[in-house]
Amino acid sequence: MNDHHNHRILEAAARVFEEHGTRGATTRRIAEAAGVNEVTLFRHFGTKEKLLRAALEWAAGEQQERSLPQLPDVPVDPVAEMTEWCRAHLHSLHECRMLIRTTISEFQENPDTAMCGTQIPARVANGLYAYILRLQEKGLAARNYDARSATALLMGSVFADAITRDIAPTRFPYSIDEAATQYVALFARAIGVKDSRGETQ
Amino acid sequence: MNDHHNHRILEAAARVFEEHGTRGATTRRIAEAAGVNEVTLFRHFGTKEKLLRAALEWAAGEQQERSLPQLPDVPVDPVAEMTEWCRAHLHSLHECRMLIRTTISEFQENPDTAMCGTQIPARVANGLYAYILRLQEKGLAARNYDARSATALLMGSVFADAITRDIAPTRFPYSIDEAATQYVALFARAIGVKDSRGETQ
DNA sequence: GCGCTTCGCAAGCAAGCACTTGCTTCACCG
DNA sequence: CGGTGAAGCAAGTGCTTGCTTGCGAAGCGC
Nearest chain A Cα distance for residue B141, angstroms: 13
For chain B, say whether A12 makes contact (Cβ under 8 Å): no
The pLDDT score that the predictor gives to residue A64 is 76
The pLDDT score that the predictor gives to residue B199 is 55
The pLDDT score that the predictor gives to residue A169 is 94
The pLDDT score that the predictor gives to residue A197 is 52
The pLDDT score that the predictor gives to residue A84 is 97
Residues forming beta bridges with residue A194, ordered by sequence position: A200
Contact B101, A105 (CB under 8 A): yes
CA–CA distance, B31 with B41 (Å, rounded to integer)? 7
pLDDT at B119 over 90: no
pLDDT at A199 over 90: no
The pLDDT score that the predictor gives to residue B122 is 93
Contact check, Cβ <8 Å, B145/A185: yes
Of the ranges A85-99, A100-114, B53-67, B183-197, which is most confident? A85-99
- Cα–Cα distances (Å) from A93 to A97, A120, A159, A164, in that order, read 6, 11, 7, 11
**What does the radius of gyration of chain B's CA atoms come to, in whole angstroms?**
20
**Half-sphere CA count of B148, side-chain side, radius 13 A:** 12
pLDDT at A164 over 60: yes
The pLDDT score that the predictor gives to residue A112 is 84
Contact A67, A119 (CB under 8 A): no
For residues A112 and B40, the model is more confident at B40
Question: Which residue type sits at A159?
Answer: F
The pLDDT score that the predictor gives to residue B65 is 75
Distance B64 CA to C17 C1' (A): 34
Coil/strand/helix, residue A200: strand
Longest dimension (CA), chain B: 68
pLDDT band at A61; cut points 50, 70, 90: confident
pLDDT at A65 over 90: no
Establish, for the pair of chains A and B, how many residue pairs have beta carbons separated by less than 8 Å.
Answer: 152
pLDDT at A201 over 60: no
Nearest chain B Cα distance for residue A2, angstroms: 33
pLDDT digits (tens, 9 = 90+) for B162-198: 999 999 999 999 999 999 999 999 999 999 998 655 5
Contact A190, B190 (CB under 8 A): yes
The pLDDT score that the predictor gives to residue A200 is 57
